[in-house]
Amino acid sequence: IAGGGGGGRPDFAQAGGKNPEKIDEAINAVRKQIASI
């Protein structure tokens, strides 16, 4: 969504993006995923 990537250890994930103006879209996508669990 924000043109980035992620990684890190299983207990400490990290992510970054190149399109900060899409942060709201990214947060909404995460909320949708969590709600579907």
The string of pLDDT tens digits covering residues 10-22 is 899 888 888 889 9
- CB distance 30 to 22 below 8 Å: no
pTM: 0.59
pLDDT at 15: 81
- CB distance 1 to 26 below 8 Å: yes
Q: How far apart are CA 22 and CA 1, in angstroms?
A: 7
Average predicted confidence (pLDDT) for the chain: 88
**In the structure, what pLDDT confidence band is assigned to residue 29 with cuts at 50, 70 and 90?**
very high
Q: Which has the higher per-residue pLDDT, 29 or 10?
A: 29
* pLDDT tops 80 at residue 1: no
